[in-house]
Amino acid sequence: MTGYSINGIQQVGIGVENATEAWKWYRKAFGMNVPIFEDKAEAKLMTRYTSGKVHSRHAILAMNMQGGGGFEIWQYESKKPQKADFDLDFRNLGILAVKIRCRQIEGCFNHLKKIGAQILTEPCKDPLGVSHFFIKDPFGNTFELRENSSWFSQSEALTGGVCGVTIGTSSIDQSLSLYQNLLQHPHQLLDQTEKWEDLPTQKLDSASFRRVFLQNNQSPTGAFGKLLCQNQIELLEYQGDKGVPVFENRDWGDLGFIHVCF
């Protein structure tokens, strides 16, 4: 019995070059239209993740009130955010995609295609039988839209908030205890290794991955448990040469760097 309870994913942090423009797109794409805060200040408590230096930043925390985690949109103001010097793909190590809940996959697909999202895969079934597809936003970040039955409220919006993340790891066996026990996602829904047709790995010839789906408890507790809804963590282990960590030689808030807060 642990002495704490994790209610879900509170937010994912997304590094961008222009927070105002990014939030405008995320409101239109994902219904992230409720601002919890917007702040411009020095991030004095973040030096552990910003190379030991205090940087000023513009941050916006926004949520979708249909349920799920929010977005912390982060823009450096005291330096130019750094891009990775390598191609980000699903061989890499770290958070590779943010999962967004949706009600009706075809309507969501048509909406995102219409507003200019880069389509990475067509709608199809994942190995759990859930309809989903992958996109990239205009800022180079990867999102997975997936049908979901866990909601806080209902509106006309096609999507809710964050329902999970996909994480590349060098060893699932060594990672499982962290996610199942410490981060309280105990329910293992799948553990299978093969070449997956539903992942955006078209550029990786004969790409085989071990794939594990983990889920938190059915009835989240705490003040925000119902709002955050149920979520999943998907672990990927590439069965070839290990990829580069997405955070290597870069700071929190750099481009393509996504972090997650529980």
Is residue 86's pLDDT more than 80?
Answer: no
State residue 1's pLDDT score: 45
Average pLDDT (52-58) is 90
Q: How far, in Å, CA of 183 to CA of 162, rounded? A: 16
Q: Tell me: do 103 and 157 sit in the same domain.
A: yes
Residue bearing the bigger pLDDT, 149 or 119? 119
User: Beta strand pairing status for 11-15 and 70-76?
Assistant: parallel
Q: Tell me: do 211 and 102 sit in the same domain.
A: yes
Contacts of 247 (CB under 8 A, 6+ apart): 94, 257
Is residue 132's pLDDT more than 70?
Answer: yes
Q: Tell me: do 23 and 151 sit in the same domain.
A: no
Task: State which residues form the domain around 27.
Answer: 11-80+251-261
Q: Tell me: do 110 and 225 sit in the same domain.
A: yes
Q: Tell me: do 186 and 74 sit in the same domain.
A: no
How many domains is the chain partitioned into structurally? 2
Q: How many Cβ atoms are within 10 Å of 127's Cβ, its own excluded?
A: 13
Q: Is residue 38 part of a domain?
A: yes
State residue 238's pLDDT score: 93
| Amino acid identity, position 94 | G
Q: Is residue 17 part of a domain?
A: yes
Average pLDDT (91-102) is 94
Q: Tell me: do 33 and 139 sit in the same domain.
A: no
Of the listed ranges 15-24, 67-76, 154-163, the one predicted with least confidence: 154-163
Q: Is residue 5 part of a domain?
A: no
Q: Is residue 63 part of a domain?
A: yes
Of the listed ranges 42-56, 105-119, 184-198, 210-224, the one predicted with least confidence: 210-224
State residue 220's pLDDT score: 65
Q: Tell me: do 150 and 63 sit in the same domain.
A: no
Left, alpha or beta for 52 (phi > 0: left; psi -120 to 50: alpha)?
A: left
State residue 172's pLDDT score: 96
Is residue 105's pLDDT more than 80?
Answer: yes
Nearest to 62 by CA among 95, 96, 28: 28
Q: Is residue 177 part of a domain?
A: yes
Render 28-50 in DSSP notation, one character per residue.
Answer: HHH---EEEEEEEEE-GGGGGGT
Average pLDDT (188-192) is 96
Q: Tell me: do 69 and 124 sit in the same domain.
A: no
Which band of pLDDT confidence, cut at 50, 70 and 90, is reported for residue 255? Answer: confident
**% of the chain at pLDDT higher than 70:** 97
Q: Tell me: do 101 and 229 sit in the same domain.
A: yes
Q: Is residue 59 part of a domain?
A: yes
Per-residue model confidence as pLDDT tens digits over 203-246: 777 779 999 999 998 676 666 778 888 899 999 999 988 788 88
Q: Is residue 243 part of a domain?
A: no
Q: How far, in Å, CA of 30 to CA of 66, rounded? A: 11
pTM beyond 0.85: yes
CATH of the domain at 113: 3.10.180.10
Q: Tell me: do 233 and 256 sit in the same domain.
A: no
Q: Is residue 189 part of a domain?
A: yes
Helical H segments across 142-238, by residue range: 172-177, 225-228
Average pLDDT of every residue of the chain = 90
Render 47-111 in DSSP notation, one character per residue.
Answer: GGGTTT---EEEEEEEE-TTSSBEEEEEEESSSPPPPPSS---TTSBEEEEEEEEES-HHHHHHH
Q: Tell me: do 76 and 101 sit in the same domain.
A: no
Residue bearing the bigger pLDDT, 94 or 257? 94
Burial class (CB in 10 A: 0-12, 13-18, 19+), 157: middle
Q: Tell me: do 66 and 141 sit in the same domain.
A: no
Is residue 10's pLDDT more than 50?
Answer: yes
Per-residue model confidence as pLDDT tens digits over 133-180: 999 999 999 999 999 988 888 887 899 999 999 999 999 999 999 999
Cα dihedral across residues 261, 21, 167, 9: positive or negative? positive
State residue 248's pLDDT score: 75
